Amino acid sequence: MTFIQKLFLAAIIISSIAALILESIWVSIFLNAAALFSLYIVIPAVNWKRNRVESRAIFEALNIYAFGKMWVGKKAEVVLVKDTDKFEGVETLARTIEGHWFIVEISISNKGKAKLKKLHEINTEAAKTILKGEPGIYERYFGISDN
């Protein structure tokens, strides 16, 4: 959680305690519900969006020579993006203009800073296996599945 998110939750909790002291039980219940809603719905949604924005920036800035090839994020086509590690990272499956498949692992700190963790070159069969669970995407790149 960011500092502002922690501050917001602390303000709600302090207000809730003050409402209890002033014997305003309904206000306290409402504020506790607001804190729980923020903690379980709003904050994870904000963090998810922030993580996607940060990971996209890292992917687009990718410009690495590895495995005998140049991997450039801006020139690659993003095929699939998945969250990992309870929203603390993102895996991006992508394909180059030449048709080479690769996975970029991006880690994201609690403060929302993203960094490249790993780059994996994969073959077409591995890409097919990964996309089996995504029929629409699979059909776009490989046609209708045999299974």
Averaged confidence pLDDT in the chain:
81
The reported pLDDT for the residue numbered 123 is 92
Give yes or no: residues 91 and 133 share one domain.
yes
Nearest Cα to 121, choosing from 107, 100, 138? 100
DSSP state of 43: H
Give yes or no: residues 56 and 122 share one domain.
yes
Give yes or no: residues 93 and 128 share one domain.
yes
Give yes or no: residues 137 and 65 share one domain.
yes
Give yes or no: residues 87 and 131 share one domain.
yes
| Domain total in the chain | 2
User: Quick check: 1 pLDDT over 70?
Assistant: no
The reported pLDDT for the residue numbered 95 is 92
Domain contains 147: no
Average pLDDT over residues 78-93: 80
Location of structure tokens 């005998």: 68
Give yes or no: residues 69 and 34 share one domain.
no
User: Quick check: 6 pLDDT over 70?
Assistant: yes
The reported pLDDT for the residue numbered 87 is 59
The reported pLDDT for the residue numbered 23 is 78
Q: How far is CA 131 from the centre of its chain?
A: 18
Which one of 15-29, 41-55, 86-100 scores highest in mean pLDDT? Answer: 86-100
Question: Measured between alpha carbons, how far is 94 from 79 in angstroms, rounded to an integer?
Answer: 5
Location of structure tokens 């499956």: 93
Range with the poorest average pLDDT among 2-6, 23-27, 31-35: 2-6
Residue ranges making up the domain that contains 97:
52-142
DSSP state of 38: I
pLDDT tens digit sequence for 37-83: 776 666 666 777 777 788 888 888 888 888 888 888 888 888 888 87
* SS3 (DSSP) at 62: coil
Give yes or no: residues 61 and 37 share one domain.
no
Phi/psi class of residue 104: alpha, beta or left (left: φ > 0; alpha: ψ in -120 to 50)?
A: beta
Domain contains 107: yes
The reported pLDDT for the residue numbered 126 is 92
